[in-house]
Amino acid sequence: DIHSFPVYHRVSFIQVDTLSPVGLNSTTNRFLIRTAAPLPPKQTITIRPPPGFVFGGMENEQCIDVDPMIIKRQFDQEFNMKALIAGVTRLPEWMVCRVLKGQNAVVLTNEEPLLGGRPLIN
């Protein structure tokens, strides 16, 4: 038996910025994502890079270990890389970002409970 599952196209726009566009040094990446529909509780968005790109992440599978506003300031002010889409905000507290090094993927998960949980609004 082959078990199947639905694959949903959840993202309508994605922009990736980096602080170091060349070389093999580690760098900070910023992902700007516009969802095509609300992301229900316990659902995920998985980002897989092209060949040759490796997601590093932090300890405990964390995506970042500093305030997201510091990273935003680095991109917007220090490197003059303003977001191309309007209304960019940080992830709400019920969204969790993890770097799965074994799979070389970044996974955004809505951690709200199935019953009565909040969706990530598009």
pTM over the 0.85 mark: no
Distances (CA, A) of 40 to 7, 92, 110, 111, 119: 14, 13, 7, 9, 5
| 41: confidence class by pLDDT, cuts 50, 70, 90 | very high
Residue 88 has a pLDDT of 61
Nearest to 41 by CA among 92, 105, 101, 116: 116
Phi, psi torsion values for 64, nearest 5 degrees:
-140, 160
Residue 97: which residues within 8 A CB-CB, separation 6 or more?
A: 62, 63, 64, 91, 106, 107, 108
pLDDT tens across 47-69, in order? Answer: 888 888 888 878 888 888 777 77
Q: What is the pLDDT of residues 64-88, one digit of tens each?
A: 877 777 877 788 777 777 766 655 6
pLDDT mean over 93-118: 90
